[in-house]
């Protein structure tokens, strides 16, 4: 049976979704023959979903993963307007590196015009 090349879902905005969506993303990338992207995609999914859980304003978050012409696209919506900031926390700070990781690992990233969706791309 062919696997769809696009996943779109919504789920409760809770910390348990981070591991669930990371696993779901990795599983589908492998099924699509894109195993080379799994480790990086897992990190990106973790960071984007964690940000949505921490800073989102909607009760649910949206998750989308698809590939097209060799590019992997990841998108998370959380209902919170505004662009996430790439911070450079001090070495002793325990958090604040999420978007720094996304910026370093993704080939491109951005937000929707209203800022409620953050996306990244791997090529």
- Tens digits of residue pLDDT in 96-108: 678 889 999 999 9
pTM above 0.75, yes or no: yes
Q: What is the CATH number of the domain that holds 68?
A: 3.30.565.10
Residues of the chain scoring pLDDT < 50: 1
Residue 21 and residue 110: Cα distance in Å, rounded?
20
Q: Tell me if 89 is assigned to some domain.
A: yes
Q: Tell me if 1 is assigned to some domain.
A: no
Q: Tell me if 116 is assigned to some domain.
A: yes
Q: Tell me if 51 is assigned to some domain.
A: yes
Range of the domain at 13: 6-122
Cα separations (Å) of 22 from 7, 10, 49, 58, 116?
A: 13, 14, 9, 20, 20
Q: Tell me if 104 is assigned to some domain.
A: yes
């Amino acid at each position: 049976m062919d696997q769809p090349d696009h996943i779109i879902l919504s789920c409760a905005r809770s910390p348990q979704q981070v591991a669930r969506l990371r696993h779901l993303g990795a599983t589908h990338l492998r099924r699509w023959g894109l195993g080379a992207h799994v480790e990086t995609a897992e990190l990106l999914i973790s960071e984007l979903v964690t940000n949505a859980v921490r800073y989102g304003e909607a009760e649910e978050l949206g998750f989308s993963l698809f590939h097209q012409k060799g590019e992997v696209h990841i998108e998370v919506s959380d209902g919170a307007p505004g662009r996430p900031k790439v911070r450079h926390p001090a070495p002793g700070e325990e958090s604040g590196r999420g978007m720094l990781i996304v910026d370093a690992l993704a080939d491109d990233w951005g937000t929707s015009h209203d800022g409620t969706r953050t996306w990244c791309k791997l090529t």
